[in-house]
Amino acid sequence: MIKKIVKFCVTAFAALIYLCPFYILIVYALKRLTDQSSKWIPPAYLYLDNFINVLKKGNLLTAIKNNIIITASAVIIIILISSFASYPLARLKTKLNNTIYMVLIAFMIVPPLSILVPLYRFMIDINGMNTYWGIILLHVTFNVPLAVFLYTGFMNNISVQLDEAAIIDGCNRISLFFRIIFPLLKNITVTVAILSGVSIWNDYQFSNFFLESSSMFTPTKALSQFISQFGNELGLVAAGCIISMLPILILYFLLQKQFMSGSVAGAIKG
């Protein structure tokens, strides 16, 4: 009995801690700038101007559109080229391929910021600043090592007998991948799409460095710029935060299970 009460109290406390930040965020967004009352008390009036104003001033709709284009293209490219790469790495374990695999995985350790200076110069040299393709290629590159790791692990568990049967039937090795192997990768593809999709959608580093013109901004970059301009109008900022996280929150509530199991699969086991 006491155990139950203690458990209930701890659970309620944890729930409170996890709900508080979102509650305060919403109250901020719904209050007038002139309203000096405590942020713990919800407003007694309905006021949605913060949302309307931040959409107008902050260019958030363009930013969300940009982010959809960038995230969707990058995720599709990641799925294609990582699953391609994993096929030889899982099926032909030659010395060369094993080395390539190890080097590829080792790239996961390099944080983008550690090579910021040369990367920034390089993006200027190839005219990749402020372009969709520039930032998409960067996102693809930095997400590919984990994706290859996941695909290769998954393919190791697909029986080679399938390949052999197909070859006897006269299938060539590359079309074998497209016809037999690729359709079997559905589950791990969902994981790869969620893991890389979330990290690209939420990215601030790359958009901060490589997107400088406001028509190319993503929501994070737009918000940070907005704050340096309208830093004292925190109600607007709060509304901007809510609008920016809405798309991914909706996706999360629809696909909770996949999000959580994605995290488990993505936890690298050395």
Partner 1 sequence: MTGKIKRFIASKYVINIMYIPVLILLVTFILVPFIKGIRISFTDWDGYSQTYHYVGLDNYTKMFSDAKVLRTIKNTFIYGFGSAIMQNILGFSFAMMFLKNSRSSKVMRTLIYMPVIISGLIMGYIWYFFFQYSGGAVNDIMMLFGKPPVDWLANGTRAVLIITGVNIFQFAGISMVIYIAGLKDIPEEYYEAALIDGATPVNKLRYITLPLLMPSINSSVVMNLIGGLKLYDVIMSLTKGGPGYDTMSLSTMVYTLYFSRSDAGYSSALGVFMVIIIAIISLSMLAFFRSREVEL
Nearer to partner 1, 28 or 51 (CB): 28
Shortest distance, CB of residue 163 to partner 1, whole angstroms?
10
How many whole angstroms separate alpha carbon 90 and alpha carbon 108?
A: 19
Nearer to partner 1, 66 or 220 (CB): 220
Nearer to partner 1, 214 or 247 (CB): 247
Candidates 88, 146, 139; CA nearest to 262 is 146
How many whole angstroms separate alpha carbon 35 and alpha carbon 177?
A: 62
Nearer to partner 1, 82 or 216 (CB): 82
Residue 84, CB-side half-sphere exposure with 13 Å CA sphere: 9
Shortest distance, CB of residue 55 to partner 1, whole angstroms?
16
Six-digit token string for 218 = 């993503």
Shortest distance, CB of residue 25 to partner 1, whole angstroms?
5
Place of tokens 């079997």: 184
Shortest distance, CB of residue 5 to partner 1, whole angstroms?
14
Total residues found in the chain within this entry: 270
81 and 144 in contact (C-beta within 8 Å)? yes
